[in-house]
Structures are given as C-alpha cells and as structure tokens.
A and B are shown apart, each in its own frame.
Chain A
C-alpha cells in the first residue's frame, strides 16, 4: 500500500517525471526564474534547494553529484562558481514561489519559481520596444506584399 507516500506525480511515470524535474531544475539554475504550473514549481523547488546546498561545498564529489542530476555542464558551472558563493551565508530558503494566476488555455494555475535575490529588473520598456520593432517590420512586410499584388 502506498500510504503516507504523498508527493507530486505530475501524471507521469517515474522516468518521465524525473526527466521533467531535472529539466526544470536546470532551467532555474541557468535562468534564475521560470514560469510553470504550481505543482511543477512545488515539486522542483526542494530539488533546486538541494543543488544549491551541494554547491556550498565545492569538491570533485559534490560537483559530480550535481552533474549527475543537472542536464547541462553550464548549469553545473554556474551552480558552483556563482550560486554557491551567493547563497553561502543563507541557511536554506534559496528559492521563492509566487502564484501568478491562471493560464488561458487550460486554466492551470501558473507560478514563478525563482532564486531569491534575482528579483525582476524592469524589462517592460525593452519588451515594448521589441514589440514595436516587430510590428513595424510586420507592417513593412505587408506593405511590400500589397505592392507586389498591385504590380
């Protein structure tokens, strides 16, 4: 009987679940913040914390332990070179989950899982500019098309 074996199954068999979580943890370490569903964030969070705890002691063995879980060499490097020092003084609680509201397509509640201390710098202006550029490019493209049709 599976009494008292609670946890997040995420509707996957064990290998698919492990692969998913490894991917999420790798992304959090590389990107600092990810947006995913609440259960996935909750499932990945303790794993991220464990990786950072590993990184506090930089030995060949701990590096290999991290590398056996993380999916990219770059993430292992960042974990030990940057995050180990960054969270050296902090006793746990390296990550934060913030609920963001519900996804349009299927109503799944989204959450942001981020490393503490990577709070968002305002990028809205930058993003708005990118969108403007894209729209402009689109419009120009359309005008060209229209011109071709006329000729």
Chain B
C-alpha cells in the first residue's frame, strides 16, 4: 500500500485545518419565552412552536 514519503510540517497541518473550524448555528429567539432556539424547531426551553404545538417540558 502507498505510504507517505515525508512527514508534514506543523505549518502544513495547521494550514490544512484553517478551514475546519465550526460555526455557531444561527439561533432565533423564541417568541414565547425569549430564549434562543433553533429556527423551524420546537423551543427546547418552553416546548412551544408557533404559539402552541406544546411538547411537554418538565416543569421548572
């Protein structure tokens, strides 16, 4: 099987990884409880979506 001929420098590794960073997801604000929530999904904090659609969340 083919194998690497030479070791990579630390700089080469770092250069490759310049594009690997993760980006924070775009959060929306829950209209009900004003906590940050993901758009188009039920609010994890209060369990509401578009006013109702309550997925029951443990009280407190």
Residues of A within 8 A of B (CB): 98-101, 112, 119-120, 122-124, 127-128
Q: Are B59 and A101 in contact (CB under 8 A)?
A: no
Interface size class of B (residues with CB under 8 A): 10 to 19
Query: A150 CB to closest chain B CB, in angstroms?
Result: 35
Chain B, residue nearest A125 (CB): B59
Partner of B49, one of A98, A122, A123, A127: A98
Chain B, residue nearest A128 (CB): B59
Query: B51 CB to closest chain A CB, in angstroms?
Result: 10
Q: In the complex, A100 Cα to B53 Cα: how many Å?
A: 10
Cβ contacts under 8 Å, B49 to chain A: 98
What does DSSP make chain B's interface, helix, strand, loop or mixed? loop
Q: 29 A-B residue contacts at CB 8 Å?
A: A98-B42, A98-B49, A98-B53, A99-B40, A99-B41, A99-B42, A100-B41, A100-B55, A101-B38, A101-B42, A101-B44, A112-B53, A112-B55, A119-B52, A119-B53, A120-B52, A120-B53, A120-B54, A120-B55, A122-B54, A122-B56, A123-B56, A124-B56, A124-B57, A124-B58, A124-B59, A127-B56, A128-B58, A128-B59
